[in-house]
Amino acid sequence: MPIEQLDLPTSAEVFSAAQTIAGQVHTTPLIRSTQLDTLTGANLHFKCEHLQKVGAFKARGACNAMAQLPAGTHLVATHSSGNHGAALAWAAAQAGIECRVVMPETAPMAKRVAVASYGAEIILCGPSLADRESALAKLVAETGAHVVPPFDDPRIIAGQGTVALEIMHQCRDAGFTPDIVIAPVGGGGLLAGIGLAMKALDPGATVLGAEPAGADDAQRSLRSGQLVTSQQPDTIADGLRTTLGQRNFAVIRETVRDIVTVSEAGIVEAMELLWTRTKQLVEPSAAVGLAAVLEHGARFRNKQVAIVLTGGNMDLDRACGLFNSREKTA
């Protein structure tokens, strides 16, 4: 669809979303680590969205979308590798509305258990985005469910952007403004929302996206100016295997300076550093921001850098397996 025909969200909608979801989601802490500052030569501020409701920033967008459902909606549905599904299931349960979630069979068991624990029905499908979309289309045809997409939706983008409003408040309370705000990018809901918010609050700050080199569609899209709509993702960051949405791409082009990529080893290293130095249990996708600082050090040196830790949901044995070879050679 041509950009001019898309219903793109505005900065004002991010501010409005913050009012809508206040009291339903947590204001999460912004934490520091002397050891990680020393290691990177930067001033790092970690926004703890793994401590958000349902353990991920996705609660923000889901809450905002649920507040704007069409009248008479009795059933909502979505597809998700996990955190958006859990967030929608949680938000729907709070609103007393039924929810179904299409999930890839490759999603971590912990995320499937979370979705089920909020009372939603799970429909399993193949691992690709096309698999998910066709399963969701079938569900909608059969039930008339209202779809709340995981990222390509103005309500979702605006909701996720509220994290940047909190970051700015917290930075100002601490007496500084961030030079750089960096967030992982999968479908681009979070990054687009942050871009919109920062454009309104502090257009001088640099907003960066970070993604695995094995799922680098956002970087290729941004650099070519053409939305890359398919890829064969190869990354442990299960939350970042999707490709950018149309609306997300349109917003990110206007508000985000650059997308940087990181290696798989870098993600594991960053995750281990976050676990052992900050004692925060974050999932692989959430470690991509710190991995970018580790692998693109010069860009961040001596800067005030806000990094979004996006979630903390994972299967412990799978996560622990990532560290095994590293520990044994230490």
Residue 123, SS3 per DSSP: strand
DSSP for 152-210 reads: SSHHHHHHHHHHHHHHHHHHHHTT---SEEEEE-SSSHHHHHHHHHHHHH-TTSEEEEE
Q: How far is the CB of 312 from a copy of itself (least distance, A)?
A: 4
Q: Among 47, 50, 112, 155, which residue interacts with a copy of itself (rule: CB under 8 A)? A: 50
Query: In whole angstroms, how far apart are CA 52 and each of 24, 135, 239, 312?
Result: 10, 29, 16, 9
Which is closer to a copy of itself, CB of 144 or CB of 321?
Answer: 321
User: In 237-260, which positions are buried (b, 16+ CB within 10 angstroms) versus exposed (e)?
Assistant: bbbbbbbbbbbbbbbbeebbeebb
Q: Among 16, 64, 280, 310, which residue interacts with a copy of itself (rule: CB under 8 A)? A: 280
Asked if 173 touches a copy of itself (CB under 8 A), the answer is no
Size of residue set near a copy of itself by CB under 8 A: 25
| Tokens read off for 285 | 């996708």
Asked if 39 touches a copy of itself (CB under 8 A), the answer is no
Q: Is the dihedral of CA 127, 228, 211, 56 positive or negative?
A: negative
- Cβ–Cβ under 8 Å, residues 302 and 42: yes
Which is closer to a copy of itself, CB of 242 or CB of 310?
Answer: 310
Q: Among 22, 137, 276, 297, which residue interacts with a copy of itself (rule: CB under 8 A)? A: 276
Asked if 37 touches a copy of itself (CB under 8 A), the answer is no
Asked if 55 touches a copy of itself (CB under 8 A), the answer is yes
Asked if 51 touches a copy of itself (CB under 8 A), the answer is yes
Q: Among 1, 141, 298, 330, which residue interacts with a copy of itself (rule: CB under 8 A)? A: 330
Site string for a copy of itself, 103-142 (x = CB under 8 A): ------xx--------------------------------
Q: How far is the CB of 290 from a copy of itself (least distance, A)?
A: 15
- What are the backbone angles phi and psi of residue 242, rounded to the nearest 5°? -80, 165
Q: 264-278 vs 316-329: helix axis angle to the nearest 10?
A: 90
Stretch that binds a copy of itself, among 120-128, 245-253, 273-281, 287-295 (CB under 8 A): 273-281
Contact positions with a copy of itself (CB under 8 A) in 290-319: 312, 315-317, 319
Strands, sheet with 206-212, edge to edge from the N-terminal-most edge strand: 30-31, 43-48, 304-309, 180-184, 206-212, 258-262
- Contacts to a copy of itself by CB under 8 A: 29, 50-51, 55, 109-110, 272, 275-276, 279-282, 312, 315-317, 319-321, 323-324, 327-328, 330
